[in-house]
Amino acid sequence: MKTISIKGAREHNLKNIDVEIPRDKLVVLTGLSGSGKSSLAFDTLYAEGQRRYVESLSAYARQFLGQMEKPDVDHIDGLSPAISIDQRTTSRNPRSTVGTVTEIYDYLRLLYARVGTPHCHVCGREISRQTVDQMADHVMALGDGTRIQLLAPMVRGRKGEYTKLMEDARRNGYVRMRIDGVTTELTETVKLEKNRKHSIEIVIDRLIVKPDIRRRLADSLETVLRLSGGMVIVSPEGGPDLLFNQNMACSECGISVEEVEPRLFSFNNPYGACPVCSGLGHLLKVSPELVIPDDTKSLAEGAITVGGWNVENEEAYSRMYFDALARHYGFRLNTPIRELPARILDIILYGTGEEKIRVEYDREHASGNFLSGFEGIIPSTERRYRETQSQTMKQYYEQFMSTNPCPECQGARLKPQALAVKVGGISIKELCDKPVEGTRDFLNALQLDERQRMIAGQILKEIHARLGFMMDVGLDYLTLSRGAGTLSGGEAQRIRLATQIGSGLTGVLYILDEPSIGLHQRDNARLLSMLKRLRDLGNTLVVVEHDEETMYAADHIIDIGPGAGIHGGRVVAAGTAEEIKACGESVTGRYLSGALRIEVPRKRRRPDPEKQLRIYGARENNLKDINVEIPLGVFTCVTGVSGSGKSSLVNEILYKRLAAELNRARTKAGAHTAMEGIHLLDKVIAIDQSPIGRTPRSNPATYTGVFDFIRDVFASTTEARMRGYKIGRFSFNVRGGRCEACKGDGVLKIEMHFLPDVYVPCDVCKG
């Protein structure tokens, strides 16, 4: 079958349309916003493709996967298994990173486990395990005639006299020891300083290297290993000592390390995750800026916003402690926070430590005083957060917290032993912190010996392929360690696109939602070549898109319209870009042909140099300590190539600082030195791509507030006043107004177990 044939599609605003979509082609669905493109692509094609695949599984598997409702369509022929690549954020899991989502990190874990070199995480020395045969090979390679001593290290840099150790060695027939680098006969009486660190090795054998000593050498090495617990020192005459270790342990520190395996590099596994932050890389810590958001207020005026520290109330328990602090350290409670000495503010926030203060109390039933320490607002809040079992209280305390890098791993997420394994001289964290292009360049220049190349060859091939796909979709600036939840919708979509190309699937229906969104025109050609490569693997691509370049690159275009909502839902035109241009009814065609265009404004508002918002020293993420002036009262566009720092400037610095200052939001702005001109603004509103509805019952009327006026009108009618109805009587969110049969949802869910759940209109309120 050469086409996907859709008959009678009626989902949402679709007008019972019939559509033919050519298979193994790049097909663009275009049209006005709200015309029905997504209803056809996602709610019809994708939904039915998924439903058919799930229904092909056993009843046992289906009960775990869940069921999908059949879309409102008569019939679809020629449909393949469908994969949707939309603009939702890749993952809400705080552990997910670009590396884990693309599976590149899985291959890096394997690379480090198989060819990585362990190092001691304390002293940095290389750690290697060697067999007796390998040790003997090293010794024989010193050359014939070389005089050597085999030493068993017994003490390494520890204090003591070690009289018993020397006596035991003498009793076991050993005649020499090397103490602090000097060989000594055991027949002599050796007195060591008790409080000085010593290194002691027993001389097991003395040999001259020649071909016929290998058997004796192996026996002596085994004796040394048995005596020292796995370590051997070979001391050639006139040369540096050679240190061999049979165990995975540091010869200097004595610290043993675990077997190096892939799970050691997984921050999702307790075996490899940092024990302090459990692999998250950050901890929630109470932020002083959120505890005291307005430092122009005094303690007496309620500068501290955390509950339980109400100093305004003179009878409060907390006031008793603050009065004691003020008396002891000599400050006033009505002094603005910004005017308090730094030492006093530090005591208020972090406590008095070991120092005690005299607290006086005078209550109706008792009075007196006692000595007590002051815990401090921040330690007290963090303790309450840890101890409470209430999720509501945890959410309350989190308002005063910000994420800070873990003090143990510094954001690396892994335990020290994993970070001490090196490939090419760097750890897996250092490699993942490089941009994708830098990671590729490092791996291309990686020097491996013949054995390592045999082991790592296939691993590196897979990593290179996936890195190449990411670069091809314009994501070469991302690092593999970046959290998946911080990606924009467009970035997340292109990452999934790169992952799908890497999977090499064929015969699949891919449905994409505006992949060019958020992409600079510079990178558009690369994106289109990736779409074509995915098509050439033998897949069908249906792309919902408004981009002109994508339309011209498409094999087939379907224009849905002619208008939006009830005025759309029909196929206006279908064919190539030239055929769409020739259709007079198609709004898209008229723009493509140039009959319609967006005119450049002839007159523009002039910015007032006196009314500007100025940001100084912006350095969040990749911003290079820049100064920015934003004129007020005009339409300002911030643009640049993908990853240039637009979101860091606008979302992380500008919005969060304004929200904290103007809206009293408990947010912490990105790194910058100062911001001027905030007093010229009244409030700030952020409009982003996140869903607006808070509950399943949200609708445009409730969100925009129109429904409040509708309820007021009905509540003011004569009949409503006669019956005593208030405005709550006309709300489907509260008891007394909503239908109790469906709880205000308008539909009832009927569970069908092995079949999809059925939603039917409520028979009481009729929906």
Determine, yes or no, domain membership for 416. Answer: no
The pLDDT value given to residue 558:
95
Q: Which residue has the tokens 């300002």?
A: 636
Residue 112: inside a domain = no
- pLDDT score for 750: 65
Question: Is 272 a member of any domain?
Answer: no
Task: Please tell me whether residues 675 and 711 are part of one structural domain.
Answer: no
User: Are 714 and 659 within one domain?
Assistant: no
Residue type, 528: L
Q: Which of 216, 245, 274 is the last residue of a domain?
A: 245
Long-range Cβ pairs for the range 57-65 (8 Å, 24+):
59/754, 62/754, 63/753, 63/754
Q: Nearest CA to 675 among 634, 624, 626?
A: 626
Is the distance from CB of 232 to CB of 207 less than 8 angstroms? no
Q: CA 653, 655, 661 angle in degrees (round to 5)? A: 95
Identity at 469, one-letter amino acid code: F
Residue 692 domain-assigned?
A: no
Structural domain range at position 10: 3-90+487-593
Question: Is beta strand 147-159 parallel, antiparallel or unpaired with respect to 182-185?
Answer: unpaired
Asked if residue 553 and residue 500 are part of one domain, the reply reads: yes
Residues 393, 318, single domain; the answer is yes
Residues 646 and 745 in one domain: no
Do 308 and 391 belong to one domain? yes
Terminal-residue alpha carbon distance, the chain: 41
Contacts of 82 (CB under 8 A, 6+ apart): 45, 46, 48, 49, 50, 53, 508, 509, 510, 511
465 Cβ contact partners less than 8 Å away, ≥ 6 residues apart:
502
**Does residue 587 sit in helix, strand or coil?**
helix
Residue with token string 């429904």: 707
pLDDT along the chain (767 residues), means of 10: 91 93 95 91 90 81 71 92 74 82 93 91 81 86 90 86 88 88 82 85 91 89 87 87 78 70 89 89 87 86 84 76 89 90 92 88 78 90 89 87 86 91 93 94 92 91 91 86 79 80 85 82 81 91 92 94 90 92 89 88 88 93 91 92 83 91 81 92 84 66 82 85 83 80 76 57 77
Residue 63 tokens, joined: 């009960």
Q: Is 422 helix (H, G, I), strand (E, B) or coil?
A: strand
Q: Domain for residue 126, yes or no?
A: no
pLDDT at 757: 59
What CATH number is given to the structural domain containing 364? 1.10.8.280
The neighbour count for residue 561, using CB atoms within 10 Å, is: 23
Asked whether 120 and 255 are in contact (CB, 8 A), the reply is: yes
Last residue of a domain, one of 404, 438, 459: 404
Q: Which two tokens stand for residue 651?
A: 């979302």
Q: Give the containing element (helix H, strand E) for 332.
A: none
State the residue for tokens 């050609």.
525
**Is 391 contained in some domain?**
yes
Domain count, the chain: 5
Contacts of 254 (CB under 8 A, 6+ apart): 156
What CATH code is carried by the domain that includes residue 719?
Answer: 1.20.1580.10
Residues 619 and 526 in one domain: no
Q: Quick check: 369 and 381 in contact, CB under 8 A? A: no
Strand spans (E) along 591-718: 612-618, 626-631, 674-676
CATH of the domain at 541: 3.40.50.300
Cα–Cα distance, 536 to 528 (Å, whole number): 12
Task: Note whether 373 and 355 are within 8 A (CB).
Answer: yes
Q: 404, 425, 455 — which closes off a domain?
A: 404
CATH number at residue 219: 3.30.190.20
Partners of residue 748 on adjacent β-strands: 760
* pLDDT, position 694: 55
345 plus 380 within the same structural domain: yes
Asked, for residue 660, whether it belongs to a domain, the answer is yes
In a domain, 278, yes or no: no
Torsion of CA 100, 102, 107, 109, to 10 degrees: -20
Integer Cα distance of 190 and 102 in angstroms: 64
What are phi and psi for residue 206, nearest 5 degrees? -125, 125
CB proximity list for 412: less than 8 A, separation 6 or greater: 274, 281, 419, 427, 429
Q: Is 517 helix (H, G, I), strand (E, B) or coil?
A: coil
Q: Are residues 540 and 637 in the same domain?
A: no
Q: Same domain for 147 and 185? A: yes
Please tell me the pTM assigned to this model. Answer: 0.69
Instruction: Give me the residue label for tokens 């008891």.
Output: 735
C-alpha count within 13 angstroms, C-beta hemisphere, residue 750: 8
Q: What angle do CA 258, 259, 265 make, to 5 degrees?
A: 85
Tell me: do 672 and 720 sit in the same domain: no
Judge if 82 and 154 occupy the same domain. no
